[in-house]
Structure 1
C-alpha cells in the first residue's frame, strides 16, 4: 500500500461510494453473464438456433453494460487516480465519447509513470494498448449501441433515412463466441490498465509484458473462433449445430 500512496491519493469519499456501487454492479453483471451463457449453451446443444440468435444479442447488451461498469470501476480504483484525474476522465458535463474516455484514461495513467521513463517505452505501450482499445472496445460498441436503440436486426444510418448495410451485416454476424471473446479481452485489458493506475512503478513494471503477451496470445488464438468451430465451455461436449 505504501508504494501506491507514494504517488496517488484516495479519491473523494463520494467517489469511493460510487466505486463500491460499481463493484456491486459488476458482481451482478458477472452473475447475469454466467446465467445467459448457460442459457445459450443449452440452446446450442439442443439445436434451438433462433433462441441462440436472439439471446446472443441480449448477451451483447449485457457485455456493453459490463464493459461500461468495468471502465468506471477501473477509473475510480482506490489509491489510483487523484480526484482531478477522475473528473477529467468521467467528465459527465462534457459528454465525452467512449473512445475519448478510454484514451483520456490511458493518457493520464501514463502521465506520472512517464516522468521517470525515457525513450520509446511509454509511446510504444500507449500505441499497443490504444490499438486494442480501438478494435475490441470502441468498434464493437457501435454494434451494441445500434441494438440498444431498437435496431435489433436492421441498422439504420445516422440520418435515419436508409438502412446501413455494413452495420446490418455486422449485427446479423454477431456470434455467441464472439461476445464471449470480448468479455475475456475486456478483463485482460482492464487488468493491465489497473496495474498502471494503482502501481505504475511496481505492479505495472513487473506484470506488463507477461499480461500484455497473455492478451495478445488470446486475441491471436481466438481470432478464428466461431460457434461451430470452438467450444469454450467445458460441459459442451456435443458438436454445435451450424446455421443453414
Structure 2
C-alpha cells in the first residue's frame, strides 16, 4: 500500500515546500532572500522547523491529520484484505470446479482409448450430472456445451450402429478424431487453469488456447484428417504449420 501512496506523498510534500517558501518570501519585509538579514531570518525559521518548535503550535492540526491518515490506512487495508479474501475464495471455487473438469475429461480419455481399438462401438459418453455440469460451465461455458455435443454424438452414433452394423466402420475415424480433440480440450484446459494463478472463470476458448501437437501426433497414429475432428476442428490442426 505504501508503494501506491509513495509518489503522491512525495509530490504533495514538494508542492507544499514550494508554496511555503514562496509564501514566506512574499510576507517577509527583510528584502531579498540571500541578503544578510533575510539569510539570518531564514536560518532561524529553518532551525524552528528542524527542532520541531512548531509542533506545539499546530498540535491540534497535526493530531487531526494523523487521525485522518490512520483512518485512510484502515480503510485501504480493509479493502485490500476483502479483495484478497474474494480472490482466495474464487481460487478455491476454481480448484473445486476443476476436479469436475478432470473427472469428465478422464471419462472422455477412457472413451478415446476404447474407440481406437474397438471392433464394435462402445457405450456412449454419459451426460455428466447437473453439479458437474455447473462446475464445468464455471470454468468455461463452452466446455459444458462441448461435452453435451460430444454426448449426443456418441449416443446417436451408438444408436445408429445398433440398427446398421456397417455404420461403425464408416464413422469410426470421426469418433476417434472427435474424442481425441475432446480429450485434449479438457486436458489442456485443466493444465492451463492449474498453472494460471490469476485465471478468470467463464473463460472463452479459441484456437489460440490450445496446442495442436498432441492432435498431430494422434492423427498420424490413426491416419486421421482434419474433417475427422468433427465439431472441434476449428480448435486444432492435424498438420504441422
Q: Normalising by structure 1, report the TM-score.
A: 0.31
* Greater radius of gyration (CA): 2
Decide which structure has greater helix share.
2
Higher relative contact order (CA 8 A, sep 6+): 1
Structure 2 length normalisation: TM-score?
A: 0.31
